[in-house]
């Protein structure tokens, strides 16, 4: 059987662990894959752990016991998070992004894989100690961001719909009041989507008053499940009275400048 050099093993181990966040990989998997002794693989993993720690791009945890092994926990340095928030503020602060109604055009950002991945890692890193079962979002624009967060946490994404679909089977529907315009809206989720007693976080692209997040909290209660946290890309802090309290954001929208551009700042979590 082919033998691998240490550099080759370290590169492959790093790739396997990072592509399977929060999934325990038994050391026997690596010993069989590389035809190497368990002590050799343990030394390789120490190298991977040290490099990730030095670069602040996550960590490797060791799980003891017969069914144990190692797993990758996502992470990002505070400096990189701050730099991303600053870059995002500059891009979204461009004057031509303000569209009628004083909305910020964000569609290109939300469907840009590089931006969404970086934002997803930042948000996932804030929740990776909560033992989350599901990441929940509402269709449609927040889906890419929520998917990235779910991917980095190694859990399933659940998409709540604005209306019922026959392909969803039996659904649970609730009405909720939009926090921004006080309109009554509805959301629904298939009975088959999640198990009772699940631990969830809600991820969205933009928060104004928090009506959608509150609706998600109430919907999860119908499944006897818990909302552990809320994460958004942009928080509209001009809406002072929020319907939810505990949430995090990457950047804050603080209104419109005199020149017609958006006034944006990094979130408090980076200060």
Q: What is the pLDDT of residues 138-173, one digit of tens each?
A: 998 999 999 999 999 999 999 999 887 777 889 999
Q: Which residue has the tokens 């990758």?
A: 72
pLDDT at 140: 84
Question: Helical H runs in 107-241?
Answer: 107-110, 113-127, 143-153, 211-222
Question: What average pLDDT score do residues 174-200 get?
Answer: 89
- Specify the pTM: 0.93
State residue 5's pLDDT score.
96
- The Cα–Cα gap between 114 and 132 comes to 24
d(C-alpha 173, C-alpha 190), whole Å: 9
Query: Tell me: the pLDDT tens digits for 81-91?
Result: 999 999 999 99
pLDDT of 180 above 70:
no
Percentage of the chain with pLDDT > 90? Answer: 83
Average pLDDT rounded to a whole number, residues 3-23: 96
Average pLDDT, the chain: 93
In whole angstroms, what is the distance from residue 230 CA to residue 32 CA?
41
Cα distance between residue 15 and residue 17, in whole Å: 6
Q: How far is CA 120 from CA 25, 110, 134, in A?
A: 23, 11, 15
User: What's the CA gap between 236 and 267, in Å, rounded?
Assistant: 11
Question: Distance (Å, rounded) from C-alpha 40 to C-alpha 13?
Answer: 12
Percent share of the chain, pLDDT over 70: 99
DSSP 8-state symbol, 166: G
- Domains of the chain, with CATH numbers? 6-73 (1.10.10.10), 78-270 (3.40.50.2020)
Q: Does 253 have pLDDT greater than 90? A: yes
């Amino acid at each position: 059987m082919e033998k691998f050099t240490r550099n080759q093993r370290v590169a492959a181990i790093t790739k396997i662990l990072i592509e399977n966040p929060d999934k325990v990989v038994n050391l026997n998997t690596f010993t069989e894959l590389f035809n190497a002794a368990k002590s050799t693989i343990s030394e390789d993993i120490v190298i991977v752990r040290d490099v990730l720690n030095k670069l602040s791009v996550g960590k490797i945890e060791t799980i003891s016991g017969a069914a144990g092994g190692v797993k990758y926990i996502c992470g990002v340095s505070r400096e990189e998070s701050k730099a991303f928030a600053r870059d995002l503020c500059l891009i979204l602060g461009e004057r031509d992004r303000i569209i009628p109604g004083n909305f910020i055009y964000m569609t290109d950002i939300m469907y840009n894989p590089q931006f969404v991945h970086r934002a997803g890692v930042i948000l996932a890193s804030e929740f990776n100690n909560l033992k989350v079962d599901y990441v929940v979002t509402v269709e449609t624009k927040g889906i890419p961001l929520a998917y990235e967060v779910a991917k980095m946490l190694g859990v399933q994404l659940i998409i709540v719909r604005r209306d019922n679909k026959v392909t969803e089977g039996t659904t649970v529907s609730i009405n909720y009041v939009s926090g921004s315009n006080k309109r009554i809206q509805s959301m629904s989720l298939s009975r088959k989507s999640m198990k009772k007693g699940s631990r969830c976080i809600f991820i969205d692209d933009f928060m104004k008053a928090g009506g959608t997040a509150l609706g998600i909290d109430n919907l999860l209660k119908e499944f006897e499940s818990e909302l552990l946290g809320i994460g958004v890309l942009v928080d509209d802090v001009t809406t002072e009275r929020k319907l939810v309290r505990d949430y995090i954001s990457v950047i804050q929208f603080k209104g419109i400048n005199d020149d017609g551009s958006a006034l944006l700042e990094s979130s408090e979590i980076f200060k």
